[in-house]
Structure 1
Amino acid sequence: MNNILYYILILPISYLPNKFLYGLSNVLILILGRFIKYRNHIITSNLRNSFPNKSKREINEIKLGFYNHFCDLIIESIKGFTISRRNIENRIKINNQDLLNSFAEKGKNVILIGGHYNNWEMTAQRMPLVSKHDLFAIYKPLRNKFYDLKMKNSREKFGLKMISMKNTKDYFNNISGNPRAIIFGSDQSPSNSKNAHWINFLNQDTGFLFGAEKYSKEFNWPVIYVSIQKVRRGSYEVNYKLITGNPISESNGKIIEKFAQFLENDIKNQPSFWLWSHDRWKKKK
């Protein structure tokens, strides 16, 4: 059934031109945002707790913007299965690739840290096309083996290589060859709150995954934040921001705290474009 759905529905949709794709997104917005009200309780609660000074009207405006963006993400993820190099280069502009490349020219590996903000999937697809590093990303495999393989192939089509979370330690212990950049998505809710680093983030005590900081310090890899801004529908700009060039000199938790501050600033600047439907604060300190 999964195979059939992919080949008769998802794959044909991915070949549609943008005009039709975003027309489908508009239909999804009505279904998920107006009729089903997908995860409305979680989204509303997250927004109210994050922005206690905003009015009900302002919260609803952000929520509507989220549904619009979320449906675009669904469509853009489907497009990712068949997107061309030219198309993705037109959609994603990277403004300061020289910062990242400067480390590769010195033979240095780096950690790239980001959040589930704007179109992180398409950005990760785009990055290898201009990077002097070999690019890798840590990910959690899907339970459905068929779609896990399809998503993995989609992500890797322009040179990105995926590393299962369970293999992260082995990967770091066996690195050789060309300089590498490894992407960590570090804003998910941690599975074990005791191992999390707790920060006041968006007005709430928030547990953060500690893996990016742990490995950056263990191997002394510079850490760079990936800031993604939405310019218009379907178009994004990326700016790299150096968190630290010398992780072992940073105090415990400082790297994750700097990341959280960068991400919070981006969210406050364009609040509709974070993944508010995720039950981010289900784990308590």
Structure 2
Amino acid sequence: MKRLIIRVMFEGFYSGKTVPMHNYLVYYLIIIPLSYLPFPVLYLLSDFIYIMVYYVFGYRRKVVFSNLKASFPNKTDKELHQIERKFYSHMADLVVESLKTFTISREAAAKRMVARNPEVPNQFYERGQSISMVGGHYGNWELYAVTLKEHLKHKVIALFTPMTNEFFNKKFKASRSRYGLNMCSIQEIKEDLENNNREVSATIFGSDQCPRKAQRAYWTEFLNQDTGVQFGLEKFARDNNQPVVYGNIFKVKRGYYEVEYKLICEDPSTMSHGEITEIHVKMLEDIINAQPEYWLWSHKRWKHKRPEKLEQGQYSSL
């Protein structure tokens, strides 16, 4: 407790801001102690979380089942509930595995997230080319974040939206960045490019985040539904003439994952408008169809509807 008080005083003094005490208590008395537990104990905790979240509290069960029902119209309710239970079990694993990333060693993390073919992105580093990378919220993206530099020779930059809680935003950003990942906003990257200070880098985009504005989304069909997709990856790759690489994360067994890289294109200028976006959306759809339980079904992915004036494959720059 004495060390905790000293740490709180130290951080509070140097931040120059008053942070609610409960933020410190949650982080230093719950998150960090739990992260030091061995994986077998964490998975016992995961089993408990699964029971509580799925059976007791029913966290977002209506959202999850609605998403599954719309995505797989040919499956029976029994089949959908089987996927639902597997998803909640995996989500509980994600919770404890994400806690572990706060203190996991670089070597331990690397054993649990292995790259099948790192030569796909690394060939462009050897040529002195920066690349754009894309992937979805599938498998364990938090563990992937702390192991990226084990796979890639590039300077690795991940785009992120800051959390509203400044204290936890700082802590989560530090956790993801401690083994070489750089967390940046799109504005920071643009400024870096304008100043010509950028190293040979790999910039990572999420492919399945719901766009904030339906008018600025690229509209296509995804999992049997009319879906707005962020167009930033394709625009960024075209503007900067960067090869595009997709990353698929496979769950091998509990706590162990493999990532497989696929080249979408070497020269974006040779691709028609929307082609890069259509390809990475289809790649994510294929892996979800193969093992749907490992995607983030609790996300309200389809809360926006296509604006009437936009046809499929169109997007507005407004």
Give TM-score scaled by structure 1 length. 0.98
1:176 Cα deviation (Å)?
Answer: 3.2
Q: Are the equivalent residues in 1 in contact too, given 2:192–2:198 (CA < 8 A)?
A: no
Are the structure 2 counterparts of residues 81 and 235 from structure 1 closer, same or farther at C-alpha, using a change threshold of 3 Å? same
1:166 Cα deviation (Å)?
Answer: 4.5
Any idea what the Cα deviations from partners look like across 1:8-52, whole Å, max 9, x if unmatched?
A: 111000000001001100000000011111101110000000000
**Corresponding residue number in structure 2 for 1:277:** 298
**Corresponding residue number in structure 2 for 1:140:** 161
Aligned positions of 1:46-195 closer than 5 A = 46-195=67-216
**Corresponding residue number in structure 2 for 1:258:** 279
Any idea what the Cα deviations from partners look like across 1:41-97, whole Å, max 9, x if unmatched?
A: 110000000000001111001000110011111111110100101110110010100
- Amino acid of the residue matched to residue 274 of structure 1? W
Distance (Å, rounded) in 2 between the aligned partners of 1:175 and 1:76 = 38
Computed over aligned residues only, the root mean square deviation of the Cα atoms, in angstroms, reads: 1.1
The number of residues matched between the two structures is 285
Alignment partner of 2:159: what SS? Answer: strand
1:174 Cα deviation (Å)?
Answer: 3.5
1:165 Cα deviation (Å)?
Answer: 4.1
Q: Are the equivalent residues in 2 in contact too, given 1:107–1:178 (CA < 8 A)?
A: no
Any idea what the Cα deviations from partners look like across 1:254-273, whole Å, max 9, x if unmatched?
A: 11110000000010111001
Are the structure 2 counterparts of residues 87 and 169 from structure 1 closer, same or farther at C-alpha, using a change threshold of 3 Å? same
Distance (Å, rounded) in 1 between the aligned partners of 2:57 and 2:279 = 37
Q: Are the equivalent residues in 2 in contact too, given 1:110–1:224 (CA < 8 A)?
A: yes
Q: Are the equivalent residues in 2 in contact too, given 1:47–1:276 (CA < 8 A)?
A: yes
1:173 Cα deviation (Å)?
Answer: 2.9
Distance (Å, rounded) in 2 between the aligned partners of 1:195 and 1:213 = 13
Alignment partner of 1:137: what SS? Answer: strand
Distance (Å, rounded) in 1 between the aligned partners of 2:257 and 2:193 = 31
Q: Are the equivalent residues in 2 in contact too, given 1:188–1:280 (CA < 8 A)?
A: yes
- Amino acid of the residue matched to residue 286 of structure 2? N
Give TM-score scaled by structure 2 length. 0.88
1:175 Cα deviation (Å)?
Answer: 4.6
Alignment partner of 1:158: what SS? Answer: coil
- Structure 1 residues not aligned, in runs of 5+: none
Q: Which structure is larger by alpha-carbon Rg, 1 or 2?
A: 2
Alignment partner of 1:236: what SS? Answer: strand
1:31 maps onto 2:52 in alignment: yes
1:6 maps onto 2:10 in alignment: no
Q: Point out the more displaced range, 159-168 or 248-257.
A: 159-168
- Structure 2 residues not aligned, in runs of 5+: 1-21, 307-318
Distance (Å, rounded) in 2 between the aligned partners of 1:174 and 1:122 = 32
Structure 1: 4+ residue segments shifted above 2 A: 164-178
Q: Are the equivalent residues in 1 in contact too, given 2:139–2:250 (CA < 8 A)?
A: yes
Are the structure 2 counterparts of residues 10 and 259 from structure 1 closer, same or farther at C-alpha, using a change threshold of 3 Å? same
**Corresponding residue number in structure 1 for 2:230:** 209
